[in-house]
Chains A and B, each alone.
Chain A
Amino acid sequence: MEEIKKVILLGSGALKIGEAGEFDYSGSQALKALKEEGIYTVLINPNIATIQTSEGIADKVYFLPVTPDFVEEVIAKERPQGILLAFGGQTALNCGVKLYRGGVLEKYNVRVLGTPVQAIIDTEDREKFVEKLDQINVRTIKSQAVTTVADAKAVASELGYPIIIRAAYTLGGLGSGFCDNEQELDALASKAFTYSPQILVEKSLKGWKEVEYEVVRDRFDNCITVCNMENFDPLGIHTGESIVVAPSQTLTNSEYHKLRRLAIDIIRHIGIVGECNVQYALDPNSEDYRVIEVNARLSRSSALASKATGYPLAFVAAKLGLGYGLHELKNSVTKSTTACFEPALDYIVCKIPRWDLGKFKGVSRELGSSMKSVGEVMSIGRNFEEALQKGLRMIEQGMHGFVANKELAVEDVDQALSHPTDKRIFIIANALRKGYTVDRIYALTRIDRWFLEKLHGIIELEKQLEGYDGLETLPDSMLLEAKQKGFSDFQLARTLSKVRKGDMEDEVSRVREWRKARGILPVVKQIDTLAAEYPAMTNYLYLTYNGTAHDVDFPRDGQSVVVLGSGAYRIGSSVEFDWCSVNAVEAIRRTGLKAIMINYNPETVSTDYDMCDRLYFDELTLERVLDITDLEAPRGVIVSVGGQTPNNLAMRLDAHSVPILGTSASDVDRAEDRHKFSSMCDELGVDQPRWRELTSLEDIYAFADEVGFPLLIRPSYVLSGAAMNVVSNKQELEHFLTLATSVSKQYPVVVTEFIENAKEIEIDAVAKGGEVIAYAISEHVEFAGVHSGDATMVFPPQKMYVETMRRIKRISREVARGLHISGPFNMQLMAKNNEIKVIECNLRASRSFPFVSKVLKVNFIDLATRVMLGLPAEPPSKSAFDLDYVGIKAPQFSFSRLQKADPVLGVEMASTGEVGCIGEDFHEAILKAMLSVGYTIPAKNILLSTGDSRSKTDMLSAAQSLQRAGYNIFATRGTAEFLALSGVEATVLHWPDSPEKPNTLDYIKERRIDLVVNIPKNLTPGELSNDYSIRRGAIDFNIPLITNARLASAFIEAFCRIRRDKITIKSWNEY
């Protein structure tokens, strides 16, 4: 066997629904494991915001698409001996299988480390999978693979409805679903065939328990199961959509070990070397079971299992891939015992998905067999109630736990229980409060009664608490019991003080002081993998009220710094803030201070306990952060690297005398509060669009009459879509105003005039004592109006006047001085006719910090952290003008997972992830970036439907380029006529609602189009629904779609100018 000296690891690309931050964690762990062995590592991953693509993790990083063609070119250039396919999700696995089948791995003599490709194929191809498990008499769901809709119908009628269909080789259940009858099957099957040539028709086992095991095997055939997990929601709801607990709670020893034994039999028979996940359906009335699926790779569940147990699955899997045996590796928590063991937990973890379905137009909120959630949280407690209530706060959707929330208006509770949505858990609370029995809820939900009984207990306790008229009469024992059952001080304040109408913030503080005076305090416990059986020096911690002693000491020596992480990934806040958090932690540690991390997102690297000196895997609520700062007495807290969640705590922590490092809390407030910020800009003479603070609808309409539409609306203290809404008419204005005010009651809404066709510019910067010491100016490809998170960003800017740049610099200097900024900040600006106006300013790191830091090769977070710690921070010696290459950050959308959602961009941020690529020039960079987010260079047929006359004009030159390049252009009538005037020939395709042929929709369904460009005229409902079916059709039939004229032009010009084989294959350090 040839010695392994160089290994390529495939990443998972941009974050998308079903494939998110967990693979940054897995990949980073694997790279760490290889590095420890002295192996030279090469990483291919265009996701520039990840930790794994940071300096010092892999030896070489390629920001290139994880597709067979690009990977082959990298292999040809790097000539590695080995490749790792199991750490980059389904993207890496699929790419690996294609490389194997295409003979690429053989050609370059690259060995797949860990699980052999054949074993992967055996688990991915459902038919082979069933056959394989049949060989060892393991039961699988009765299913048949079919290749036509007619066959699907025949099988379904044989099995009897309800049935489920699944598409082979897809991510997180894409193209899967339940069908109760033939009509439903017809619709779903046709769609599934667009994703995969093969679909599976299976008998539905709705209502069975869903249980998963994480299994590890080494080349000596030693096997362990690291963790099992039980879904709160029964089968029928995708595991990514379900609340999950670990370990299982309702399984007897016999059930637990029967399924464990089977998992081991399966992993052996398939021949996995490394890690895999086995999912079961378990009959709730017997020990009958079915294997649902096996994932022969690290998965979302394995990341969760790693965090739930403290067992570093990815790290161990990588070592096993190199040939180690489990017994030869050490338990990385105890450092003394072996890695060949199964963690014993002495706590329960609860995973809760985070949805953002409100951000998408037209999407169904019902949960089913395909995944829609965009993130997740993991909460830790010593009973279920504590873990669940913590978790419900962690998802940050305005809820305070299971109870004491704003009452949901539910029209039909029975219907809501039996047709679960993202609000399911709160519907159960609602039902219990209404007097529904556990049995009735069970009948409607099939959630095991054990869980329901626990939930019922929380409601009972709440009712008892409501019997007291205040803290003074509440017995300490009951206060303690409430805290043990996960009640926050806020929940207690709300439950106990219903009669009073005091300020809630004061009431909550009063509860805190009251219980502290009574010694009712949480204790800090360790996650040590062995339930305290062996001493462990672990720094992996959580807080609980179900205990009487701390596991650790608190030095309280002023040598520690707390970094608040970003919480759940969601639209608008994801891996980029994890990168910022981790880099802040690293910067702190480099100075010799101790870094304490607080975060609760299991998909992150920041919650990897070996990244920091202490990890509190716990809530980012004021209450919990204060609990921790009370214990640790840190030098200070950094709130500016974890996105909006920690930033929102700045003022309140400051009010409790917690030292905030960097820019002062009052200055943060001056930036966050639009009124204060705008006033300051006026004082500084910095121009902004006309704005007004609003309290009533009439005022708004009056203002709208004055400045005209479109308008920009934003409430204070909200990140992402709801923070910056562009409305083009009165109707939209009303819609978003209701949305905005329901998010933020305490602050008035600011309405601003919106300038059309303006260039949008961002500046990411670091200031020290009000002086800017580093900055990066980027421009958007799209005009202002596309949410900055959905925009395509260019750095350094390629089409900006020097004068504009100079003025932006001057503005940012003035703002930095005005706000006395010490630390990171970001400003968004508009430029039109060389007039520059400030849109907003955040005194925290922004989502583009990792992108500009990596393109410029200056770590802005490191610099900002040094500033915040009061240490010398030298301005970087180079500037963007020195760069002879271009970086492009492009958004990744997940519309294909969000059935019926309109894939149009605008007022709400809709992207779930992003990539950042580097090219020799703008065209090459944008081509790489677009290919990285799933676009393909079209083969021949392009459909243009280019909206209003301005977009039509914008697109003209691109259309001419297409014609020159020999593409066949199809267009809707108006567009075709417009093009004809300029001599561009286009075949007319009729609108979907027209009976005439040839029809756009037919062409899309028959997949005769390779790229769809559809530009909505404006955002009015009429316009949007008009060509909705074209856009949705493109998504549903997996045809690349662009809805912005400027982006479409940029992409088209790029692929018309640069041939695929001329794209340079250069690693990050070669630029």
Chain B
Amino acid sequence: MEKKRSILTLEDGSRFEGFSFGAATSAGGEVVFNTAMTGYPESLTDPSYRGQILVLTYPLVGNYGVPPMEVDGGLPKFFESDAIHIRALVVSDYSFRHSHWNAVKSLDEWLRENNVPGVYGVDTRLITKTIRERGVMLGAVTLDGEAAPPLEDPNRRNLVAEVSCTKTEIYGNGKHRIALVDCGCKYNIIRCLVARDATVVRVPWDYDFTQLDYDGVMISNGPGDPQMCAATIANIRKAIALGKPIFGICLGNQLLSLAAGAATYKLKYGHRSHNQPVLTVGTDRAVITSQNHGYAVDTTSLEAGWEPLFVNLNDGTNEGIRHSSKPFFSAQFHPEASSGPVDTEYLFDEFIKNIEQWKR
């Protein structure tokens, strides 16, 4: 097989020459790295990666191929959305020959089908260190012989609007009616709720869900700058006033925090990994979490009644907030995992418990 060169360039001028796999094309975006060692089918379909070029620090990728597009309960069984959201994938060592009982195609084929370029054979550790030192940068993957695509900052766009559903959808048929604000929702959030006897009403990001008859609201994860979601924040404020249980995940934590008076800021290079340690504030309980976010909450300006719930043990950043008397809480990490450790799935139980208490 003829190897075609492909080059990753960063806005600081760094160049990393490798070879092309996946779609033979070029693409620009924000370059981020993820240190997880498993889970590329899940990560690539995670809407939070919208507009980003993903660098995987784990060097061997594609080993187990890509699972089939089976649908179960209205959702694809093995993916986190209906499409690949990353702009491009950058790896060190791509396995052209995969092996797994559940694989129907290779990662290479899957990327081609979705017109997403991949680069392999670059020093991903060096790229990671570059990003770590200089912060997240824009960049481009350019296929040898093609013109470099323009560098555009995806965070200036309303990425949430791009990935959110456009109309209301309903999943499951359980006793708890949950409004799910889809800011780029990972499907495993829906699966986790449905498995807990819920009916999930998935609504677009700017939909005024407070008009619905619901028992609790789930504010999903999603891409980009939380400040772009003014409409969602306004709806959350209304929900806070209503007092029914609220649970926010990732972007949902940022939006709930913004609604509760806190500020958000962009992290130098974000948290994207499966090994982030998080402590429940005021306890000795620490958990390992799956994370994917570029922005974080500054809790200093939280309004009265709100307090930090989780804190990152490595860098002390906020990992979730709660209301001291009302059933509102959120997590910056991903209790739905997929991919990553499933240790915090219990938060869905807490949410359901809040709903049950609220109903009483």
Chain A residues near B (Cβ < 8 Å): 220-224, 247-254, 256-257, 260-261, 264, 284-286, 325-327, 336-338, 340-348, 382-384, 448-450, 453-454, 457, 523, 525, 530-535, 546-549, 551
Cα–Cα distance between A533 and B39 once the two chains are bound (Å): 18
Question: What distance in Å separates the Cβ of B250 from its nearest Cβ neighbour in chain A?
Answer: 18
Query: Are B63 and A250 in contact, CB atoms less than 8 angstroms apart?
Result: yes
Q: Which of B59, B67, B338, B339 contacts A546 (CB 8 A)?
A: B59
Cβ contacts under 8 Å, B60 to chain A = 249, 348, 383-384
Query: Are B277 and A327 in contact, CB atoms less than 8 angstroms apart?
Result: yes
Q: Which of B275, B284, B343 contacts A220 (CB 8 A)?
A: B284
The residues in B between 76 and 100 inclusive whose CB is less than 8 angstroms from any CB of A are 78, 92-93, 95, 97-100
> Is B30 in contact with chain A by the CB < 8 A criterion?
no
Query: Are A450 and B97 in contact, CB atoms less than 8 angstroms apart?
Result: yes
Cβ contacts under 8 Å, A384 to chain B = 60
Q: Which of B99, B132, B286 contacts A250 (CB 8 A)?
A: B99
Query: Are B285 and A220 in contact, CB atoms less than 8 angstroms apart?
Result: yes
Query: Are B58 and A531 in contact, CB atoms less than 8 angstroms apart?
Result: yes
**A–B pairs, 9, beta carbons within 8 Å:** A220-B284, A248-B38, A250-B99, A252-B38, A257-B38, A338-B314, A342-B274, A533-B132, A535-B132
Look across to chain A and name the residue whose beta carbon is closest to the beta carbon of B58: A346
Look across to chain B and name the residue whose beta carbon is closest to the beta carbon of A550: B126
Query: Are B125 and A344 in contact, CB atoms less than 8 angstroms apart?
Result: no
Query: Are A342 and B341 in contact, CB atoms less than 8 angstroms apart?
Result: yes
Query: Are A284 and B101 in contact, CB atoms less than 8 angstroms apart?
Result: yes
Cα–Cα distance between A75 and B99 once the two chains are bound (Å): 55
Look across to chain B and name the residue whose beta carbon is closest to the beta carbon of A385: B93
Most chain B beta-carbon neighbours within 10 Å: one of A220, A337, A449, A531: A531
> Is B206 in contact with chain A by the CB < 8 A criterion?
no
Question: What distance in Å separates the Cβ of B18 from its nearest Cβ neighbour in chain A?
Answer: 10
Query: Are A342 and B288 in contact, CB atoms less than 8 angstroms apart?
Result: yes
Query: Are A345 and B128 in contact, CB atoms less than 8 angstroms apart?
Result: no
Given known pairs A450-B98, A546-B93, the reply for A257 and B340 (CB within 8 Å) is yes
> Is B64 in contact with chain A by the CB < 8 A criterion?
yes
Cβ contacts under 8 Å, A249 to chain B = 60, 63
Q: Which of A252, A525, A533 contacts B273 (CB 8 A)?
A: A533
Given known pairs A250-B99, A450-B63, the reply for A534 and B314 (CB within 8 Å) is yes
Cβ contacts under 8 Å, A327 to chain B = 277, 279, 284, 286, 313
> Is B292 in contact with chain A by the CB < 8 A criterion?
no
Interface residues on B, range: 35 or more
Cβ contacts under 8 Å, A256 to chain B = 37-38
Given known pairs A327-B313, A546-B92, A546-B93, the reply for A346 and B126 (CB within 8 Å) is no
Question: What distance in Å separates the Cβ of B140 from its nearest Cβ neighbour in chain A?
Answer: 19
Given known pairs A252-B64, A344-B36, the reply for A224 and B279 (CB within 8 Å) is no
Cβ contacts under 8 Å, A383 to chain B = 59-60, 92-93
Question: What distance in Å separates the Cβ of B154 from its nearest Cβ neighbour in chain A?
Answer: 22
Query: Are B313 and A341 in contact, CB atoms less than 8 angstroms apart?
Result: yes
Query: With A531-B58, A551-B125 given, can you name 5 additional A-B contacts, CB distance below 8 Å?
Result: A252-B102, A257-B341, A338-B286, A344-B36, A450-B97
The residues in B between 29 and 81 inclusive whose CB is less than 8 angstroms from any CB of A are 33, 35-39, 41-42, 57-60, 63-64, 67, 78
The residues in B between 87 and 131 inclusive whose CB is less than 8 angstroms from any CB of A are 92-93, 95, 97-102, 122-126, 128-129
- Top 10 nearest A-B pairs (CB, nearest first) are A253-B39, A450-B99, A344-B35, A453-B97, A531-B57, A531-B35, A449-B99, A253-B339, A220-B284, A327-B286
Proximity bits, B323-360, A CB within 8 Å = 1, else 0: 00000000000000111111100000000000000000
Look across to chain A and name the residue whose beta carbon is closest to the beta carbon of B132: A532
> Is B276 in contact with chain A by the CB < 8 A criterion?
yes
Question: What distance in Å separates the Cβ of B337 from its nearest Cβ neighbour in chain A?
Answer: 7
Main secondary structure of the interface of B (DSSP, over half): loop
Query: Are B286 and A325 in contact, CB atoms less than 8 angstroms apart?
Result: yes
Q: Which of B123, B315, B340 contacts A253 (CB 8 A)?
A: B340
Cβ contacts under 8 Å, A264 to chain B = 343
Cβ contacts under 8 Å, B24 to chain A = none
Question: What distance in Å separates the Cβ of A205 from its nearest Cβ neighbour in chain B?
Answer: 16
Query: Are B123 and A247 in contact, CB atoms less than 8 angstroms apart?
Result: no
Cα–Cα distance between A256 and B101 once the two chains are bound (Å): 15
> Is B151 in contact with chain A by the CB < 8 A criterion?
no
> Is B229 in contact with chain A by the CB < 8 A criterion?
no
Cα–Cα distance between A457 and B94 once the two chains are bound (Å): 13
Cα–Cα distance between A547 and B127 once the two chains are bound (Å): 10
Question: What distance in Å separates the Cβ of B343 from its nearest Cβ neighbour in chain A?
Answer: 7
Chain B residues near A (Cβ < 8 Å): 16, 33, 35-39, 41-42, 57-60, 63-64, 67, 78, 92-93, 95, 97-102, 122-126, 128-129, 132, 273-277, 279, 284-288, 313-315, 337-343
Q: Which of A223, A448, A532 contacts B129 (CB 8 A)?
A: A532
Query: Are B126 and A549 in contact, CB atoms less than 8 angstroms apart?
Result: yes
Most chain B beta-carbon neighbours within 10 Å: one of A220, A264, A341: A341
Cα–Cα distance between A454 and B62 once the two chains are bound (Å): 13
Cα–Cα distance between A448 and B103 once the two chains are bound (Å): 14
Main secondary structure of the interface of A (DSSP, over half): loop
Q: Which of A336, A342, A382 contacts B275 (CB 8 A)?
A: A342
Query: Are B100 and A252 in contact, CB atoms less than 8 angstroms apart?
Result: yes
Q: Which of A222, A449, A534 contacts B286 (CB 8 A)?
A: A222
Q: Which of B101, B313, B338, B341 contacts A285 (CB 8 A)?
A: B101
Question: What distance in Å separates the Cβ of B6 from its nearest Cβ neighbour in chain A?
Answer: 15
Query: Are A346 and B38 in contact, CB atoms less than 8 angstroms apart?
Result: no
Query: Are A547 and B38 in contact, CB atoms less than 8 angstroms apart?
Result: no
Cα–Cα distance between A224 and B288 once the two chains are bound (Å): 7
Question: What distance in Å separates the Cβ of A571 from its nearest Cβ neighbour in chain B?
Answer: 35
Query: Are A340 and B313 in contact, CB atoms less than 8 angstroms apart?
Result: yes
Query: Are A346 and B59 in contact, CB atoms less than 8 angstroms apart?
Result: yes
Cβ contacts under 8 Å, B64 to chain A = 250-252, 450
Cα–Cα distance between A523 and B59 once the two chains are bound (Å): 15
Cβ contacts under 8 Å, B122 to chain A = 548
Cβ contacts under 8 Å, B279 to chain A = 327
Given known pairs A222-B286, A257-B342, the reply for A252 and B67 (CB within 8 Å) is yes
Cα–Cα distance between A297 and B339 once the two chains are bound (Å): 30
Cα–Cα distance between A248 and B37 once the two chains are bound (Å): 9
Q: Which of B100, B125, B132, B337 contacts A346 (CB 8 A)?
A: B125
Q: Which of A222, A252, A260, A336 contacts B284 (CB 8 A)?
A: A222
Cβ contacts under 8 Å, A535 to chain B = 132
Look across to chain B and name the residue whose beta carbon is closest to the beta carbon of A547: B123
Question: What distance in Å separates the Cβ of B96 from its nearest Cβ neighbour in chain A?
Answer: 8
Query: Are B286 and A253 in contact, CB atoms less than 8 angstroms apart?
Result: no
Q: Which of A260, A342, A344, A454 contacts B57 (CB 8 A)?
A: A344
Cα–Cα distance between A548 and B8 once the two chains are bound (Å): 14
Cα–Cα distance between A365 and B287 once the two chains are bound (Å): 46
Query: Are B286 and A340 in contact, CB atoms less than 8 angstroms apart?
Result: yes
Most chain B beta-carbon neighbours within 10 Å: one of A224, A284, A450: A450
Given known pairs A253-B42, A253-B340, the reply for A532 and B284 (CB within 8 Å) is no
Question: What distance in Å separates the Cβ of B10 from its nearest Cβ neighbour in chain A?
Answer: 14
Cβ contacts under 8 Å, B338 to chain A = 253
Cβ contacts under 8 Å, A286 to chain B = 101
Cβ contacts under 8 Å, B95 to chain A = 450, 453-454
Cβ contacts under 8 Å, A551 to chain B = 125, 129
Q: Which of B41, B126, B287, B339 contacts A547 (CB 8 A)?
A: B126
Cα–Cα distance between A449 and B97 once the two chains are bound (Å): 9
Query: Are A251 and B286 in contact, CB atoms less than 8 angstroms apart?
Result: no
Look across to chain A and name the residue whose beta carbon is closest to the beta carbon of B95: A450
Cβ contacts under 8 Å, A348 to chain B = 59-60
Cβ contacts under 8 Å, B125 to chain A = 346, 525, 531-532, 547, 551
Question: What distance in Å separates the Cβ of A346 from its nearest Cβ neighbour in chain B?
Answer: 4
Cα–Cα distance between A254 and B40 once the two chains are bound (Å): 11
Query: Are A253 and B101 in contact, CB atoms less than 8 angstroms apart?
Result: no
Cα–Cα distance between A448 and B100 once the two chains are bound (Å): 9
Query: Are B42 and A341 in contact, CB atoms less than 8 angstroms apart?
Result: no
Query: Are B314 and A257 in contact, CB atoms less than 8 angstroms apart?
Result: no
Cβ contacts under 8 Å, B97 to chain A = 449-450, 453, 457
Cβ contacts under 8 Å, A248 to chain B = 38
Cβ contacts under 8 Å, A347 to chain B = 59
